[in-house]
Amino acid sequence: MIGAVPVVLVLAFALTALLYASVGFGGGSTYAALLALSGLDYRLLPPLVLACNIVVVAGSTVRFARAKVLPWRGAAFVTALAAPAAFLGGLTPIDRTTFLTLLGASLVLTGFAMLLPVSEGRAAEPRRAARVMPLIAAPLGYLAGLVGIGGGIFLAPLLHLARWREARAIAATASFFILVNSLFGLAGQLLKGGPDHFAAAIGGGLPLLVAVVVGGQVGSLLALRFLPGRWIRRLTALLVIAVGVRLLGGL
């Protein structure tokens, strides 16, 4: 069981959700790192983190769809390749050292991915790599299910580099990608750990789920009014890299 959740951890989850939601992501890798650093049993991390991902990006996906900026055909193709792999990742047994190593490395890569420049205007002519870029979705989906992250944080910068679509369409695709991968990964985690394991993770982490709901809504509605998106990305990236390095250094 998780037991009493420290207030500082609840606040950290709310802030993480605010920052990530403001730039179109779920924050799963950082939630996982915060829980790992807090000493929680690593086997309880993925179900809780994936659930947090879902509640953050579900709202973003709905807003993108209502704004008619979600490229359904392209997003469905990329996600269809990743979702079965996310399910398999959720089913895969993993030891603590491997889990924390993958998580720490994912955080560092996530931070550097967020530092890549993103064009906010209309996309230029797509590069040839854009045709094969969605094929990376399957390994990203597997990683998402294995360690409890959405994978969209890696997908989006690569799609930007390939000029796959314009910026808002890529953000919408990443949000949809995270949502579906997290659902499939969570299903795999449920089958692997059983209902008792799942209930311990979700029930004990209820305050954290509430925190990310609030933080995600505030982030998506208000954050960009006070700080340009590029600065939010940079600050978040530096925080993620620092946490990832600390996690790897503790192995």
Q: 67: pLDDT confidence band, cut at 50, 70 and 90?
A: confident
Q: Does pLDDT of 19 surpass 90? A: no
Cα separation, 36 vs 208, in Å, equals 14
Asked if the model's pLDDT at residue 20 lies above 70, the reply is yes
The residue with greater pLDDT, 75 or 59, is 75
Q: Are 57 and 42 in contact (CB under 8 A)?
A: no
Taking CA atoms, 240 is separated from 23, 38, 52, 53, 226, in Å, by 14, 16, 17, 16, 21
The pLDDT score that the predictor gives to residue 171 is 81
Asked if 186 and 90 count as a contact pair (C-beta separation under 8 A), the reply is yes
Element (DSSP H or E) covering residue 76: helix 72-91
CA dist list (Å): 27 to 10, 30, 66, 175, 213? 14, 6, 23, 11, 12
Amino acid, single-letter form, for residue 15: L
pLDDT band (50, 70, 90) for residue 126: low
pLDDT tier for residue 1 given thresholds of 50, 70 and 90: very low
Tell me the average pLDDT across 74-93. 91
Confidence of residue 200 (pLDDT cuts 50, 70, 90): confident
Query: Are 218 and 18 contacting, i.e. CB atoms less than 8 angstroms apart?
Result: yes
pTM for the complete prediction? 0.82
With residue 236 as reference, give the H or E element that holds it.
Answer: helix 229-249
**Mean pLDDT, rounded, for 124-139:** 70
- Residue 225, pLDDT score: 57
Model pLDDT, residue 83: 92
Q: Where are the domains of the chain?
A: 8-249
Average pLDDT over residues 20-33: 80
More confident residue, 220 or 248: 248
Lowest mean pLDDT among 40-49, 146-155, 178-187: 146-155
pLDDT tens, residue by residue, 149-176 = 888 877 887 787 777 888 778 888 888 9
**What average pLDDT does the chain have?**
81
Return the percentage of the chain with pLDDT > 90, whole number: 15
86 contacts 150 by C-beta, under 8 angstroms:
no
Confidence at residue 224, expressed as pLDDT on a 0 to 100 scale? 47
Q: What is the pLDDT of residue 159?
A: 80
What's the pLDDT score for residue 148? 80
Q: Residue 205: what pLDDT?
A: 84
Q: Which residues of 31-48 are buried (b: 16+ CB within 10 A; e: fewer)?
A: bbbbbbeeebebbbbbbb
pLDDT at site 229: 60
Averaged pLDDT for residues 6-35 = 85
Whether residue 113 contacts residue 241, with contact meaning beta carbons closer than 8 Å, is answered with no
pLDDT confidence band for 108 (50 / 70 / 90): confident
If you average pLDDT over residues 95-109, what whole number do you get? 86
